[in-house]
Amino acid sequence: MSDVPQLYLMTPAGAQASALAPMLTEVMDRFQVACLRIRGGTEEDELGRLADLTREIAHARDVAVVIDDHVRLAQRHGLDGVHLSDGARGVRAARKELGDDAIIGAFCGSSRHEGITAGEAGADYVSFGPVGDSVLGRGEPAPLDLFQWWSEMIEVPVVAEGAITRELITALSPACDFIAIGPEIWAGDDPTEALSALWG
């Protein structure tokens, strides 16, 4: 693992495809993104439109696309995989459904045990978070030493997410493969500038 984590970009929750397209295109033209994750929060028809649009934008730039929890939508819209928000529980079923080549990630909160279980079940990456102060997190924030331990002991790539700040990026960089950024940049008028200030 290098000391420079890769950027893992998340769409805004509940995004409308038509509004997101120009902003997403600009961000992905300016920054090297390793993976794009479609967040839920909208009805299935709109998620389908979002899936098609983000796939076109991302695949044109050789970036993989995963979607939160919707195995069926991932299949139907030619996405690269799923991000499971409930830890290790759905990993084996998603792998069986999507096949060996799909990307399957698992969000494991701050639980080392859940992360290990997800890795053993065949997850391609594990994400822990929130790493910063967030009202959205379930339970305790994921501490820096969890990432340090994971990067030393476990080969499955690890993603840090949730309330990311520039200071946290600096602290987490030696212990993370990917840093997930999304809500941190979409709230303002200019996501590209917001990401520039955060990511540098």
Output the CA–CA distances (angstroms, integers) from residue 144 to 57, 148, 158, 169, 186, in the order listed: 33, 6, 12, 11, 25
Query: For residue 3, is it within any domain?
Result: no
Query: For residue 2, is it within any domain?
Result: no
Query: For residue 125, is it within any domain?
Result: yes
Domain CATH for 42: 3.20.20.70
**pLDDT computed for residue 84 by the predictor:** 98
**pLDDT computed for residue 20 by the predictor:** 95
Strand stretches in 74-175, DSSP E:
81-84, 103-107, 125-128, 158-160
Q: Which domain holds residue 37?
A: 8-199
Tens-digit pLDDT profile for residues 35-90: 999 999 899 999 999 999 999 999 999 999 999 999 999 999 999 999 999 999 99
Query: For residue 1, is it within any domain?
Result: no
Query: For residue 82, is it within any domain?
Result: yes
- Tokens representing residue 161 in the block: 């997410």
**pLDDT computed for residue 1 by the predictor:** 47
Query: For residue 145, is it within any domain?
Result: yes
Q: How far apart are CA 139 and CA 76, in angstroms?
A: 34
Q: How far apart are CA 103 and CA 35, in angstroms?
A: 10
**pLDDT computed for residue 2 by the predictor:** 53
**pLDDT computed for residue 134 by the predictor:** 72
Give me the residues of the chain with pLDDT under 70, please: 1-2, 135-139
Domain count, the chain: 1
Residue with tokens 């959205």: 136
Query: For residue 161, is it within any domain?
Result: yes
Output the CA–CA distances (angstroms, integers) from residue 38 to 29, 48, 144, 191, in the order listed: 18, 10, 26, 16
